């Protein structure tokens, strides 16, 4: 029997050929689209060319001004340092990395500024027309100006930030006109010394009897809180204050309960003889501690052992030190896991996410269904904890203190942090 010999490709050779082609295709795609790929390099080159061209166009305006010394040759808007003479016009930029301020002597060129013979700018710039120095503005720069509320303003229940501290009339507050501070606000116990009341850079609580109340009791306000959650933000120093029992006597809470507690904030029904149902403070002088309602058995992440309704964040805070923290609870999305339903809780330190975990939906539902209707007042500077009529005060130097009726995003938290710190340091 004769067999004919036919030339052809074997299955193995075909597979090898396909694999080689796939490898070559992958390499080609990587060369085109990777971080160091041709397309990325082309985009980077285009960006650098654009920046160089834009900077050159700005540079051409510098000698025009220097020769003629006429304001019309300056591009953008004039910046001003923050001082008494510029109290109503100051406008500046802060480099967050270098803690350097750019004000008087500089001009700000915003994106879209038209340059003759060039067109609108695609970037933001700072230019000093005396020295000729030109700086491109990036994410490391924070813009601060007189009259602006600092950071996120949407959903604010209460706001005490450097912009308000800077413009609030202290004499109005002393006379009882609290509307210049914030709407529906009352100041309690302040005696307007260095340790009690508003100064040029902070709001001081003496830890004895100082606290701020903010009315929050309409149905619309409560529904928004129930649906969205909250954000509580604090920047400053916190130290231990006095604790009082229902007879207004100073007590040693640690000896009586085994725990030390420094109250910061609460939401309560306005009755001095009853405890608040939403409490925030510092436990045993080291961890942030909060709860809303007493729904036993509903475990959340960071729940206290033996008392799962309490949330205990182990931040190892030393009383008296400067701290910037933000707590958020987002109740707009439900996460299901192992038969349970949860919301997301997050704590940020210095604008960066520190801890994130689940918050049991049943616990929030318990608070909303059983407690919220009776609450009407936010209280800042003190909190109750375990017993009716017992109050725990904080000695605080508050640079920034905000409360929102929703959970801020990570980007919003970072924006608040950067602006608040930059503003405070430039007061």
Question: Which pLDDT value is given to residue 1?
Answer: 44
d(Cα 417, Cα 137) in Å, to the nearest integer?
Answer: 19
d(Cα 139, Cα 278) in Å, to the nearest integer?
Answer: 37
Question: Which pLDDT value is given to residue 2?
Answer: 45
Question: Which pLDDT value is given to residue 425?
Answer: 80
Q: Domain residues of the chain, as ranges?
A: 49-145, 156-425
Mean pLDDT in consecutive groups of 10 residues from the start of the chain, 427 residues: 52 80 76 63 72 89 87 90 74 86 93 89 93 91 77 88 75 85 90 88 93 94 95 95 95 89 94 93 92 80 89 92 96 92 96 96 93 94 92 95 95 92 80
Q: What are phi and psi of 49, to 5 degrees?
A: -65, -40
Q: Which CATH architecture has domain 156-425?
A: Sandwich (2.60)
Q: What are phi and psi of 299, to 5 degrees?
A: -80, 130
Question: Which pLDDT value is given to residue 398?
Answer: 94
d(Cα 385, Cα 253) in Å, to the nearest integer?
Answer: 10
| pTM for this predicted structure | 0.77
């Amino acid at each position: 029997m004769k067999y004919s010999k036919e030339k052809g490709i074997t299955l193995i050779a075909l597979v090898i050929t396909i694999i080689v082609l796939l490898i070559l295709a992958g390499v080609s795609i990587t060369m085109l689209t990777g971080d160091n790929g041709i397309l990325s390099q082309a985009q980077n080159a285009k960006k650098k060319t654009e920046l160089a061209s834009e900077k050159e166009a700005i540079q051409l305006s510098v000698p025009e001004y220097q020769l003629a010394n006429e304001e019309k040759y300056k591009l953008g808007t004039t910046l001003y340092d923050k001082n008494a003479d510029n109290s109503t016009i100051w406008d500046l930029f802060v480099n967050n990395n270098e803690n350097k301020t750019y004000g008087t002597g500089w001009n700000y060129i915003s994106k879209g500024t038209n340059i003759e013979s060039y067109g609108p700018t695609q970037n933001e710039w700072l230019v000093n027309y005396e020295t000729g120095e030109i700086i491109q503005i990036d994410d490391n720069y924070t813009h601060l100006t007189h009259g602006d509320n600092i950071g996120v303003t949407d959903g604010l229940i209460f706001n005490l930030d450097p912009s308000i501290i800077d413009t609030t009339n202290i004499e109005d507050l002393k006379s009882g006109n609290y509307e210049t501070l914030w709407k529906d606000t009352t100041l309690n116990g302040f005696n307007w010394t260095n340790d009690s009341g508003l100064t040029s850079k902070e709001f001081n609580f003496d830890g004895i009897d100082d606290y701020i109340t903010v009315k929050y009791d309409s149905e619309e306000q409560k529904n928004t809180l129930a649906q969205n959650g909250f954000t509580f933000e604090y920047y400053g120093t916190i130290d231990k204050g006095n604790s009082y029992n229902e007879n207004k006597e100073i007590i040693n809470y640690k000896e009586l309960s085994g725990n030390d507690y420094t109250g910061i904030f609460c939401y309560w029904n306005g009755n001095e003889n009853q405890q608040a149902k939403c409490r925030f403070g510092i436990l045993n002088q080291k961890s942030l501690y909060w709860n809303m309602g007493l729904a036993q058995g509903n475990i959340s992440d960071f729940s206290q052992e033996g008392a799962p309704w309490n949330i205990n964040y182990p931040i190892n805070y030393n009383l008296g030190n400067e701290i910037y923290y933000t707590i958020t609870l987002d109740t707009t999305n439900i996460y299901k896991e192992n038969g349970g339903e949860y919301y997301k809780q997050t704590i940020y330190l210095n604008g960066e996410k520190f801890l994130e975990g689940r918050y049991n939906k049943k616990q929030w539902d318990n608070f909303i269904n059983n407690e919220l209707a009776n609450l009407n007042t936010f209280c800042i500077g003190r909190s109750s904890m375990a017993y009716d009529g017992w109050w725990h005060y904080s000695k605080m130097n508050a640079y920034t203190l905000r409360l929102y009726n929703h959970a801020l995003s990570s980007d919003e938290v970072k924006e608040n942090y950067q602006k608040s710190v930059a503003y405070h340091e430039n007061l």
